[in-house]
A and B are shown apart, each in its own frame.
Chain A
Amino acid sequence: MSMNERDLLEDKHFEQVISDESICTKENIVYEKPETLLDVSMHYCPGCGHGVAHRILAEVIDELGIQQEVIGVAPVGCSVLAYNYLNIDMSEAAHGRASAVATGIKRVLPEKYVFSYQGDGDLAAIGTGETIHTCNRGENILIIFINNGIYGMTGGQMAPTTLPGMKSTTSPFGRDVATMGAPLKITELLAQLPGTYYVTRQSVHKPLNVRKAKKAIQKGFEYQKLNKGTCFVEIVSNCPSNWKMTPVESNKWLDENMLPFYPLGDIKVPKD
């Protein structure tokens, strides 16, 4: 259908309201894209949680005023091109090795802020070893873990965090725990390690959750400044394309299926 045909078919069931120039002035801005988030279109599918996670990360970097002091590590996965959207120095790691790369950076630049941004396949499958040992050494970095229970970039294969019975291209009849293993709750596992200081699970599927997730990322950077050990923020997210749902459906599905299995909230909080 061409654009013109679409226009002709338009049933005019609503009228677009033009923005009010007396309200839309610079001094009345209460929310805008953070500066650290570059003004480009992201490659993510419509409705993908990565965009929100990138944005709140950029907001925290802006609000803490650490853009010049932060170095990020991108993973292999959908967010492999995260450095195209964040206006900070970044390193693009091999699959699963982001926390090792972040360790290397932090060890030689201990006064800087270092974070890794990783998906579930990257962090909890191929990179499990690096993840556990980075946290066990208590590296003073922030690990942001996006868990959507699927391999997005390669086309919807089963991830270590895929729910029992959940269908993927490599568990086409649903994840059979007897033969494929149970989903790995790596966040709970990492909370057991003495090296982790702050471990929390958040989501970005509703406005309130977005604010909480942002707060968690902020805490992660603040604790890093205090050299308290590894901070780990899991963000339970969606994958509309590979879950084969609309974005709105996917967030509803996340709420009803992912969150009972991966309950939100702090798992390890600082004692002091």
Chain B
Amino acid sequence: MAKVKGDIIIDIEKCKGCELCIEACPQGSLETSRKVNNKGYLYIVKVEDTCTGCTNCALVCPEGGITVYRKTEKGKEQIAKISNVTKDMELKVN
């Protein structure tokens, strides 16, 4: 299988620096910044280029502030095979 490459974008103005995403990240990609956002929170930033797009950080983010991206060398088709929380449920209703 091709190597999975992921990335995230953190909405730093929503971030309250709770650090739950740091705890959840299996790659150790995240850290608390030394800068504050407009609300005065030390927000979270990505510091290692090791993201696999596993979505753990976004799952535990109480602010809904993390968007997760994922890409393989072979392109889009591969992505669909990877367990994706937004698509892993059967929709039985309606």
Contact = CB atoms under 8 A, between A and B. Distances in A.
- So, do A and B actually touch in the complex, CB under 8 Å? yes
Interface of A: 3, 6-7, 9-11, 14-17, 19-20, 22-25, 27-34, 37, 41-42, 44-52, 54-55, 58-59, 63-66, 204-207, 210-211, 214-215, 218, 221-222, 225, 240, 246-248, 251
B93 A46 contact: no
A207 B55 contact: yes
Interface of B: 5-9, 13-14, 16-20, 22-24, 29, 31, 33-36, 39, 41, 45-49, 53, 55-56, 58-71, 76, 79, 82, 84-86, 88-89, 91-94
Contacts of B49: 17, 20
Contacts of B35: 3, 6-7
Contacts of B94: 64-66, 225
Contacts of B6: 23, 30
A22 B75 CA distance: 12
B93 A34 contact: no
A23 B5 contact: yes
Nearest to A51: B62
Contacts of B17: 46
Contacts of A218: 89
- Give me the 5 closest cross-chain CB pairs, A-B, nearest first: A51-B62, A47-B18, A46-B16, A31-B68, A46-B18
A251 B76 contact: no
A222 B36 contact: no
Contact of B63 (A10, A19, A29, A51): A51
